[in-house]
Structure 1
Amino acid sequence: MYDIFGKRLPKFPPKYYLAMTESMAEERRVTLEQYLQGVVSDSVISGSDVFITGLKKFQLETFKLPCIKVVLKVYLPDGRQVNVDSKTSDSAERVLEAALYTLNVSRELVEYFGLFITHKDSEGAYSVVKKIAPFEIPFITIWHINDDSYQIDIRKWYTTPTTDAMLMGCGGAIDLLYAQAVQELEMNWSRPTEQQTEMLKELIKAENKVKFLETMQQVEHYSYQKLNPGVTDYPNCNTVATVSMGNNEMYCSLQTSDNRTEIISVHVSKMTRCHVPLHQPEKTMDQQECKLCLIDGQVPKFISILTKQQPENTMDQQECKLCFIDGQVPKLISIRTKQAFLLSKWIKKMLSEQPLPCVKENLEIQDNITSSNILSRNPKKIDVACGIKDPIYTSLRECDSSDLYDDNQ
């Protein structure tokens, strides 16, 4: 890779040729983590064919799986199953394209959908666990989990509800949007009024999918991604927190021990950092933690949210740190959850969908169009870094190290 990308690659951490002490081993682990995060945060490198091919080879060699033909089960939000003829080595991008082709979704609309790992517990509660990265191998991901309560779902991959309009000319896409909208309505992820509820029920009964989706545009929290309930230390200990993300905001409902409800709503343009540490040896709780930085007047606040892990879960726990600005002082929130990577990705996806004139007011845009883009699968992709005066709160990137070091890699 150095021959191809040269000085674009971060400097590789030096090796220790003698026996390492515990502190030396920890230091090297941290520097290697920083190196890998730097590599994957560069959209030119992470989007190149040589990088993706190398990762696929690494996954196959790690799990020692032969390249053979398989039928991969992919599910829709309404429970329907699509059997995709594929190989054990096929990437998520390839599997998604094949599944959408079967569903008569136009090839030009593939970018609006993604493959997700979802979970349904013994009581039927549904949750989205993570998004499968385009270069990830879905067969290995679901095989490694080895739990029938997990499956691969096709879901839309955008956060702005008005984007639905761009897909309304394709019948296959309408079917997918309708199935997901009905599912989220039934799970109470969206919050219609009583009048809207009655109207939506009539439209479902009449199977008027287009009118149903048009009506959903007016429903509060339509197209939001909702996380499992958790626990936070803000505003006080043992506060129950429910986080939802969508339509350019993070919405957090806090239920305190004295039964008071407090709402935190933060626009994505105020967010400055989102980070998931790769190694957390001191975390022993059966949860993942995500840290957020917020601002309250002139005083910074650190908030830790612990979300409950599904029982007998085989997936690793991770911490997600989020920072956002309100005024001149940062607030910090830390969430520990099995959905940490999903939270991180969703926030960065919201940022990437911001209109350019709006983004310019708060962000510095750096276009990475160089000669190296010849090797990139996405040459027009840009890195987005926040233009905050304080250097501590910088660089919220769309490309995340969680793509490499996710729950099942």
Structure 2
Amino acid sequence: MKMHFCIPVSQQRLDALGGHYVLYSVYLDGFLFCRVRYSQLHRWNDQLRRVFGSCLPPFPPKYYLAMTASMADQRRDQLEQYLQNVTMDPNMLKSDVFVDFLKLVQMDTFSVTTKRASLDVYLPDGRNIQVEILTSDTAERVLEVVSHKIGLCRELLGYFGLFLIQFCQESKLSVMKKLVDFELPYVSLRSSEVENCKVGLRKWYMDPSLDSMLMDCRTAVDLIYMQAIQDIEKEWAKPTEMQKQKLEALQKEDNQTKRSFASSCSPPLPLEQYLELSQDVRHYGYVQLDPCVCDYPEPGCSVVLSVGNHEINCCVTLPDNQTQDVIFHINRVKCWQVTFLGTLLDVDGPQKTLNENLELRFQYSENSRWQWFVVYTKQAFLLSSCLKKMISEKMVKLAAENPEMQIEVPEQGKSKKYHIQQSQKDYFSFLPSKSKIKVAEVDCVLGAIKEDDL
């Protein structure tokens, strides 16, 4: 699936000889990732082509005459499409040519040199693990270092991820984005310019039933146990009063058991019972977004979105202050797109995120007809990532149930071929902007899986 790369702005600069060049601001998941020249991307494409040949998407051609404004906009759009399309090949994402270039331009953009550094990685219970890394270490590498330090089984790394997390007032928590494998956590954290932003370790799967895959690893169980407690404390998961009492009793019993059997490799019984009971808690394992606005059932309604277990759950506040729960099932979502509706007023200044004036709209089958629903949220890219993850997990499960068919399906942390025909596609489209800076619309559109396609 495509990544959320976009190039909403570009600036013309003078080089050392007095000539002009264009510097493109590349954003990933709404955060400034790097600034790069066309010539750098052109050389990178040549290197990739020597390794991967004709499977690469077309690269925007050189212009040997001065570009007009429309030609410059067209090139920016084409470069954006190229970055989105080149990330669709999982083999390319893992290649040294791909990763080394993106590491270099990310570090150059923020003037970071390679050196040893300490990085605090926060666990769901609020504790932080300090790890010694290089500033040029990718999120994939940092996750390996963290897992080694806490004793997490290496084969379970795909079930966890590093996230940028904001610790807000009144003990509230906001998940801003998941760091992709080739991002540099040290650089991303320094460049985010978001107050109280930390790197956090969280599980990264949307289907709560996948907890069962982690039960043989004590550290993995401890992590999902910590996150379950945190989600209940933050009111992301919503137990009934009876469930809450039982969970608190099991948590107290587990604390006593841990003091008696601190060196045990297997999870204590109360912990396992706690997680088993948590499976029945409403919104267990969901990602909750900050309060935002939607257009359903009427425009301008406040809404809190919880995403997980193959659904988007919307707690909508109506104009009369009554609340209404609206559930959208992922298997009835045909497509979605993220759109940046605003403008970057100071492209050379400190503003480095696109998290203002974002919307995510998705097409949904309701009463045998397709409708568009719109959510206005600064976490639109995170919401899109969650939707992609749910689609991916659904495809893995479908492939496991139909082993005789073939499909390219992303697994937890790797890619594997199955025998199913894929009817889903990724598209990226654009909306015109009234501002002087042409702003791209970034979207991820996936066709619905239909029974006729199998």
Cα distance 1:69–1:76, how it changes in 2: closer, same or farther (>3 A)?
A: same
Select which of 374, 384, 390 maps to 1:344: 384
Equivalent position SS for 1:259: coil
Give the conservation status (yes or no) of the 8 Å contact 2:338–2:444: no
Are 2:111 and 1:52 aligned? no
How far apart in 1 are the matches of 2:380 and 2:233? Answer: 24
Give the conservation status (yes or no) of the 8 Å contact 1:127–1:227: yes
Q: Offset at 1:36?
A: 1.6
Match of 1:25 in 2: 72
Select which of 265, 277, 282 maps to 2:327: 265
Match of 1:116 in 2: 163
The aligned runs of 1:379-394 (5 Å cut-off) are 380=416, 385-386=422-423
Select which of 137, 157, 168 maps to 2:215: 168
Cα distance 1:381–1:21, how it changes in 2: closer, same or farther (>3 A)?
A: farther
Alignment deviations for residues 219-249 of structure 1 (CA, whole Å, 9 cap, x no partner)? 1110010101111222222211111110111
Alignment deviations for residues 287-331 of structure 1 (CA, whole Å, 9 cap, x no partner)? xxxxxxxxxxxxxxxxxxxxxxxxx99633244343333465322
Give the conservation status (yes or no) of the 8 Å contact 1:76–1:154: yes
Give the conservation status (yes or no) of the 8 Å contact 2:295–2:374: no
How far apart in 2 are the matches of 1:224 and 1:206? Answer: 26
Cα distance 1:61–1:167, how it changes in 2: closer, same or farther (>3 A)?
A: same
Match of 1:329 in 2: 369
The aligned runs of 1:3-402 (5 Å cut-off) are 3-207=50-254, 208-276=270-338, 280=340, 283-284=342-343, 315-317=353-355, 318-326=358-366, 328-354=368-394, 356=396, 358=398, 366-367=407-408, 378=414, 380=416, 385-386=422-423, 396=446
Equivalent position SS for 1:353: helix
How far apart in 2 are the matches of 1:38 and 1:189? Answer: 35
Give the conservation status (yes or no) of the 8 Å contact 2:301–2:319: yes
How far apart in 1 are the matches of 2:406 and 2:370? Answer: 22
How far apart in 1 are the matches of 2:314 and 2:282? Answer: 14
Give the conservation status (yes or no) of the 8 Å contact 1:44–1:368: no
Gap regions ≥5 residues in structure 2 = 1-47, 255-269, 430-442, 448-454
Q: Offset at 1:147?
A: 4.5
1:396 aligned partner, one-letter code: L
Alignment deviations for residues 75-114 of structure 1 (CA, whole Å, 9 cap, x no partner)? 0011101011100000111111111111111111111110
Cα distance 1:394–1:365, how it changes in 2: closer, same or farther (>3 A)?
A: farther
Look at both structures and tell me which one has the larger radius of gyration over its CA atoms.
Answer: 2
Match of 2:45 in 1: none
Q: Offset at 1:358?
A: 4.2
How far apart in 1 are the matches of 2:143 and 2:221? Answer: 17
Cα distance 1:123–1:16, how it changes in 2: closer, same or farther (>3 A)?
A: farther
Q: Offset at 1:24?
A: 3.3
How far apart in 1 are the matches of 2:321 and 2:273? Answer: 39
Cα distance 1:365–1:283, how it changes in 2: closer, same or farther (>3 A)?
A: farther
Q: Offset at 1:133?
A: 0.4
How far apart in 1 are the matches of 2:297 and 2:289? Answer: 19
- When structure 1 is superposed on structure 2, of 30-39 and 135-144 the one drifting more is 30-39
Q: Offset at 1:182?
A: 0.4
Alignment deviations for residues 313-370 of structure 1 (CA, whole Å, 9 cap, x no partner)? 9633244343333465322233343312211111111111116574799xx964399x
How far apart in 2 are the matches of 1:103 and 1:10? Answer: 41
How far apart in 2 are the matches of 1:58 and 1:336? Answer: 31
How far apart in 1 are the matches of 2:88 and 2:376? Answer: 22
Q: Offset at 1:53?
A: 2.2
Give the conservation status (yes or no) of the 8 Å contact 1:47–1:378: no
Alignment deviations for residues 223-282 of structure 1 (CA, whole Å, 9 cap, x no partner)? 0101011112222222111111101111112222123433331222222324345xx4x5
Equivalent position SS for 1:55: helix
1:75 aligned partner, one-letter code: Y
Gap regions ≥5 residues in structure 1 = 287-311, 370-376, 398-409
How far apart in 1 are the matches of 2:195 and 2:220? Answer: 27
Give the conservation status (yes or no) of the 8 Å contact 2:288–2:307: yes
Give the conservation status (yes or no) of the 8 Å contact 1:145–1:314: yes
2:84 aligned partner, one-letter code: Q
Equivalent position SS for 1:65: coil
Equivalent position SS for 2:307: strand
Identity %: 38
Give the conservation status (yes or no) of the 8 Å contact 1:229–1:243: yes
How far apart in 1 are the matches of 2:60 and 2:75? Answer: 7
TM-score normalized by the length of structure 1: 0.78
How far apart in 1 are the matches of 2:253 and 2:444? Answer: 50
Q: CA RMSD in A?
A: 3.1
- When structure 1 is superposed on structure 2, of 378-387 and 234-243 the one drifting more is 378-387
